[in-house]
Amino acid sequence: MLELRHGFRINPDKCDGRMSCMRACPTHAIRVKNGKARLISELCIDCGSCLGVCEMSAISATTMKFAELDGYKFKVAVASPALFMQFGLRVTPADVVRALLELGFDAVWEYAVDMALVDRAITDLVKKWPGPFPLISNSCPVVVRLIQVAYPSMVEHVVPLEVSREIAARELKRRYSREKGLKPEEIAAIYITPCQAKAISILQPAEEAKSNLDGAMAISEIYNDLLSKMREAVRPGDAPKDLVTAGQLLQWGAPEGGIPALSREHYIPLMGLTQIMKVFDDIEKGRIRNIEFLECHACQGGCLGGNLTVENLYEARSRDLHLMASMPKPGPEFEQEVDRRYALEDLSSRGSLKPRQTEGEAIDLRERVMRRKRAEEVLRTLPQLNCGLCGAPKCRNHAEDVAASRADLLECVFMLPDRIKSLGKHYKK
């Protein structure tokens, strides 16, 4: 099995085994054993649900630091649209870009054109798609991984196109290689990310193909430095020529990202894993037939609600609406550039998406059948209370762990009364 990487780490020294992370995990990827949380790697979809619920801050995101870019000759920031919504109404997108340049980036890539390319590609794909419907957006890495892990029969629903941030990284390396006389590997394309999931999608893409991006920095990591750079500015200078000017870019930070060319009756935006999973359940059961495209965001509020953002979601949304209202519409040059690149570029995905192999699938069929039979036998002996005190979120998970020899049946407190006393002593510390 492929060794999986994840966008966060668990610090066992800080973990007190309170089980909040285990209960928050939508794919039941966390167990708490001997008072410490541990991960079942192949079940983790990097949603970050565990990050916000740990009261001991034992779980932290892993993203790049600026010092890690010292080996590159030219550093380019590819900023998530959510970044521009993290500051007050008086801060313009140009101010944010200037601060990024002051921070040490050599350029900031304004990638509204790259987003428009994806918008057009999806619209054309929907028109000629032979099925099955609905097609599902792949811009949110959590949703892609959720399908791989929990809905493997639906991988063929995911749009087989490159995401805009990857297209942007590919294009900027072409451009600056040509303009600066540099090799592509000497240019750092760094995504400024609202969540750790996009960071891990760069380090280990779900399609098992190398990313065009070289890493990701958290918005929360550089937020204070950007504020400091803005305050140091004596006066706002003229905006660099290719700054953020197209409202199209800012739309992609909002809940209803950017598929305006699709008719609303055949296009549904979804936010939040709970709602997404309900809809996916219905797709598997054949209850959804008339929807052509689902735009899915694991976070409430889209990327504005990412767990590495700083601003309150609703303040950020207000800022987004204000910016979009004040942005000029793209001119004819913008559309001409989209037309030119759309005719020339291959926008298809770099690799094929496959269901994620789990531990149970790595064993032979006979062993799998025996484990399932054993799990059902164990489950019938359990109280079905889903209390979680065994260290697994539900009785079924504990039964599966017992069948796979990952747990002992007697870890269930109702099987061994003395277990309740020992747990009580541990959590009274």
> Which of 51-55, 105-109, 132-136, 248-252 is predicted least confidently?
248-252
Q: Do 138 and 264 belong together in one domain?
A: yes
| Mean pLDDT rounded to a whole number for the chain | 88
pLDDT for residue 242 is more than 60: no
Phi, psi (5° rounding) for residue 397?
Answer: -65, -40
Q: Do 80 and 173 belong together in one domain?
A: yes
Domain boundary among 317, 344, 371: 344
Domain boundary among 314, 344, 374: 344
Residue 58 lies in a domain: yes
pLDDT for residue 146 is more than 80: yes
**Under a CB-based contact definition with an 8 Å cutoff, are residues 14 and 35 in contact?**
no
Expressed as residue numbers, the domain containing 8 is: 1-62
The per-residue pLDDT for 265 is: 67
pLDDT for residue 424 is more than 70: no
Residue 350 lies in a domain: no
Higher pLDDT, 209 or 399: 399
Each residue's pLDDT tens digit, 284-332:
999 987 899 999 999 998 999 999 999 999 999 888 888 878 777 778 8
Each residue's pLDDT tens digit, 61-103:
888 888 899 999 999 999 999 999 999 888 888 899 999 999 9
Residue 354 lies in a domain: no
pLDDT for residue 241 is more than 90: no
Residue 164 lies in a domain: yes
Distance from C-alpha of 240 to C-alpha of 346, rounded to nearest angstrom: 29
> Which of 24-33, 253-262, 273-282, 398-407 is predicted least confidently?
253-262
Q: Do 375 and 268 belong together in one domain?
A: no
Q: Do 54 and 74 belong together in one domain?
A: no
- What letter does residue 53 receive in the DSSP assignment? T
The per-residue pLDDT for 251 is: 53
110, two tokens: 């304004």
Q: Do 317 and 417 belong together in one domain?
A: no
Any idea what the CATH number is for the domain that residue 28 is in?
3.30.70.20
Residue 5 lies in a domain: yes
Residue 358 lies in a domain: no
The per-residue pLDDT for 364 is: 78
Q: Do 281 and 387 belong together in one domain?
A: no
**Under a CB-based contact definition with an 8 Å cutoff, are residues 82 and 316 in contact?**
yes
Residue 388 lies in a domain: yes
Name the pLDDT band for 239 (thresholds 50, 70, 90): very low
Against a cut of 0.95, is the pTM above it? no
Residue 352 lies in a domain: no
Q: Do 236 and 308 belong together in one domain?
A: yes
Distance from C-alpha of 310 to C-alpha of 80, rounded to nearest angstrom: 13
Q: Do 227 and 317 belong together in one domain?
A: yes
Q: Do 246 and 137 belong together in one domain?
A: yes
Any idea what the CATH number is for the domain that residue 428 is in?
1.10.15.40
Higher pLDDT, 366 or 359: 366
The per-residue pLDDT for 69 is: 93
- The domain tally of the chain equals 3
Phi, psi (5° rounding) for residue 417?
Answer: -55, -35
Higher pLDDT, 9 or 331: 9
How far is C-alpha 66 from the chain's CA centre? 21
Distance from C-alpha of 97 to C-alpha of 116, rounded to nearest angstrom: 21
> Which of 41-50, 73-82, 238-247, 300-309 is predicted least confidently?
238-247
pLDDT for residue 4 is more than 80: yes
> Which of 7-21, 239-253, 353-367 is predicted least confidently?
239-253
Q: Do 225 and 237 belong together in one domain?
A: yes
Distance from C-alpha of 170 to C-alpha of 211, rounded to nearest angstrom: 9
Q: Do 132 and 193 belong together in one domain?
A: yes
Each residue's pLDDT tens digit, 156-191:
999 999 999 999 999 999 999 999 999 999 999 999
Helices (H), 33-92: none
Q: Do 160 and 183 belong together in one domain?
A: yes
Domain boundary among 316, 344, 372: 344
Higher pLDDT, 237 or 192: 192
